[in-house]
């Protein structure tokens, strides 16, 4: 049960954090996995690439050594699976199309797409939200996932089997104070996932959204260390603790299996009960 041997997965934004753990988990279940990220260690202009994204977190990732695209692919190959790390910007449609074709040609097919790439550094109340960062967040978080889904779709239809995962957030289901652009784009992913589920059913393609709470990834730990509000978030969970990347990845791994073939159009909260009315 829960075996992904023979499946080929693409994970976007997989150089670190949740995406990296997703990739390692899928590989551990037997899948061949392609790592895509705008940041890769062997980019001779890595710092400039990070700066060009207009993302503070991308620059922090480079300065802190959190970029592990090639290292993750190598770790997967040591598991006995096939893997590549490919530089890809989800907002660049031509690049997405070329990368997906390359994967299809080299791996023979594509079965699974994890839409994980996202921005998470625009914090301001609505009157102070930056127009520029709003546009960036829509372009990366929502349109980027659409670009990847559209380009992978013919390959999933060709297989008559597919798994699409959209990384939403409890900010998308509950709203997020000071997170208008992030919350709106994560809510939009839920609509995209449900539509993909409706259209994919006739092709044996499932599509589901994951809504994580606060997870202790590299970025999550850094944010919690400097923000006293995170103690309030922690106290809202049933377990009085934050989640781990593996909590998200294990849920995604299950949704990608044959056994989860009757689950589609779902929004699965992996949030330690944050949405519950707790004392």
Beta bridge partners of 212: 270
pLDDT, tens digit, 9 for 90 and up, residues 123-139? 999 999 999 999 999 99
Question: What are the structural domain ranges in the chain?
Answer: 8-270
Mean pLDDT along residues 45-72:
91
The structure tokens listed for 189 are 């992913």
Q: Which of 47-51, 74-78, 194-198, 220-224 has the lowest mean pLDDT?
A: 220-224
Q: Which of 25-34, 39-48, 177-186, 219-228 has the lowest mean pLDDT?
A: 219-228
Place of tokens 């899948």: 31
Q: Residue 278's pLDDT is what? A: 63
Instruction: Give Cα separations from 141 to 89, 108, 189, 192, 211 (angstroms).
Output: 11, 28, 8, 12, 14
- What is the sign of the dihedral through the CA atoms of 108, 245, 198 and 195? negative
pTM over 0.75: yes
Taken as a whole, the chain contains a residue count of 279
DSSP code string of 209-277? EEEE-SB-SHHHHHHHHT-THHHHHHHHSSSSS-B-HHHHHHHHHHHTSGGGTT--S-EEEESTTTTS-
Top-level class of domain 8-270: alpha beta
> Which residues are designated catalytic?
182
Beta bridge partners of 83: 33
């Amino acid at each position: 049960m829960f075996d992904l041997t023979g499946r080929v997965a693409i994970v976007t934004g997989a150089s670190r954090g949740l995406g990296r753990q997703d990739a390692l988990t899928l590989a551990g279940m037997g899948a061949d996995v392609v790592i895509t990220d705008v940041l890769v260690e062997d980019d001779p202009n890595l710092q400039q690439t990070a700066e060009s994204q207009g993302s503070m977190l991308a620059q922090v990732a480079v300065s802190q050594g959190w970029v592990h695209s090639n290292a993750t692919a190598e770790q997967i190959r040591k598991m006995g699976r096939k893997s590549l790390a490919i530089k890809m910007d989800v907002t660049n449609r031509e690049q997405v199309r070329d990368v997906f074709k390359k994967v299809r040609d080299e791996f023979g097919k594509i079965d699974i797409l994890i839409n994980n790439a996202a921005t998470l550094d625009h914090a301001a109340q609505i009157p102070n939200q930056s127009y520029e960062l709003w546009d960036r967040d829509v372009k990366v978080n929502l349109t980027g996932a659409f670009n990847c889904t559209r380009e992978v779709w013919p390959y999933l239809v060709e297989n008559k089997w597919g798994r699409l995962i959209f990384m939403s957030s409890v900010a998308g289901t509950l709203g997020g104070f000071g997170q208008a652009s992030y919350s709106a784009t994560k809510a939009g992913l839920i609509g995209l996932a449900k539509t993909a589920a409706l259209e994919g059913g006739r092709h044996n393609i499932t599509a589901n959204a994951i809504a994580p709470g606060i997870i202790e990834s590299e970025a999550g730990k850094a944010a919690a260390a400097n923000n006293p509000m995170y103690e309030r978030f922690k106290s809202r969970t049933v377990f009085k603790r934050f989640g781990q990347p593996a909590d998200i990845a294990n849920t995604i791994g299950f949704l990608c299996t044959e056994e989860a073939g009757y689950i589609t159009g779902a929004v699965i909260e992996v949030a330690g009960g944050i949405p519950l009315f707790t004392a």
